[in-house]
Amino acid sequence: MIYLIYTNEEDANTRADTEGQRVGYSYWTEGTGTRWSTRPEPTAEGNFALNVTTYDLTTEEQAATVESYNPVPNEEA
């Protein structure tokens, strides 16, 4: 998998929205249902990782991808 790392959730959501619109998910065509193929996940560093493996990426986005991120530790362990 590949990820884009965002410093805030709003920017990560905006990118997920853009892809959802491009794909034509029902949230964008009917106002209900699927909005994103992936949603941003918080990282241990306070950022947000967006799985963009199936996204149509720009050249700049492709260059900025990473193969992993540090997830927030599970406190229920």
Number of domains in the chain: 1
Considering the domain boundaries, does residue 10 fall inside one?
Answer: yes
pLDDT, tens digit, for every residue of 26-47?
999 999 999 999 999 999 999 9
Q: Residue 17 — pLDDT band, cuts 50, 70, 90? A: very high
Query: Is 12 a member of any domain?
Result: yes
Predicted TM-score (pTM) above 0.85: yes
**Which residues partner with 11 through β-bridges?**
none
Range of the domain at 53: 3-64
Phi, psi of 27, deg, nearest 5? -55, -40
Considering the domain boundaries, does residue 69 fall inside one?
no
In this structure, is residue 46 part of a structural domain? yes
Tell me the torsion sign for CA atoms 65, 66, 67, 69.
Answer: negative
Average pLDDT taken over every residue of the chain: 95
